[in-house]
Structure 1
Amino acid sequence: MKQRGQVVIDKIIDTAERLFYTQGYSNTGINQVIEEADIAKASLYNHFGTKADLLVAYIQRTHDRWFNRLESAVKQVADPKDKLLVLFDHHLNRQQIRQFGGCPFIKANDEAGTSDPRVLSEIQRTKQHSKDFIKRLVANSGHQQLLTDGELAELIFLTLEGAITAASVFKRAADIQSARKIIQKLI
Structure 2
Amino acid sequence: MIKQRGQVVVDKILDTAERLFFEQGYNITGINQVIEEADIAKASLYKHFGSKTDLLVAYLQRIHERWFDKLEADVDKVADPKEKLLTLFDYHRERQLQNGFGGCRFIKANDEAGMSDERVLAEIQKAKQHLRDYISMLVVNSGHQKLLTDKELTELIFMMLDGGIVAASVFKQADDLQSAKSIIQKLI
Q: TM range, normalised to the smaller chain?
A: over 0.9
CA distance in 2, matches of 1:156, 1:176: 11
Report the secondary structure of 2:145's partner residue. coil
Q: What one-letter code is carried by the residue in structure 1 that aligns with 2:112?
A: E
In structure 1, what is the equivalent of residue 48 of structure 2? 47
Q: CA deviation at 1:173?
A: 1.2
Q: Distance in 1 between matches of 2:171 and 2:110?
A: 21
Letter in 1 for 2:28: N
**Partner-residue secondary structure (3-state), 1:101:** coil
Structure 1 residue 3, shift from structure 2 partner: 0.5
1:14 aligns with 2:42: no
Q: Tell me what 1:182 maps to.
A: 183
Tell me the equivalent position of 2:168.
167
Q: Counterpart in 2 of 1:86?
A: 87
| SS, match of residue 27 in structure 1 | coil
For residue 13 of structure 1, report the CA deviation from its aligned partner: 0.3
Report deviation, 1:106: 0.3
- In structure 2, C-alpha distance between the alignment counterparts of 1:153 and 1:173, rounded to whole Å: 21
User: 1:125 matched to which residue of 2?
Assistant: 126
Flag structure 1 segments of 5+ consecutive residues without an equivalent. none
Which amino acid is the alignment partner of residue 97 of structure 1?
A: Q
Task: For 1:177, give the aligned amino acid.
Answer: Q
1:12-49 CA distance string (max 9 Å, x none): 00000000000000000000000000000000000000
2:7 partner letter: Q
In structure 1, the residue matched to 2:138 is 137
SS at match of 2:143: coil
Corresponding residue of 2:151: 150
1 CA distance for matches of 2:185 and 2:170?
24
What does 1:45-84 align with in structure 2 at a 5 Å threshold?
45-84=46-85
Measure, in 2, the Cα distance between the counterparts of 1:172 and 1:95.
8
- 3-state secondary structure, aligned to 1:181: helix
Secondary structure of the 1:144 match is coil
CA RMSD of aligned residues (A): 0.4
**How many angstroms apart in 2 are the aligned matches of 1:179 and 1:101?**
19
Unaligned runs of 5+ residues in structure 2 are none
Which residue of structure 2 aligns with residue 27 of structure 1? Answer: 28
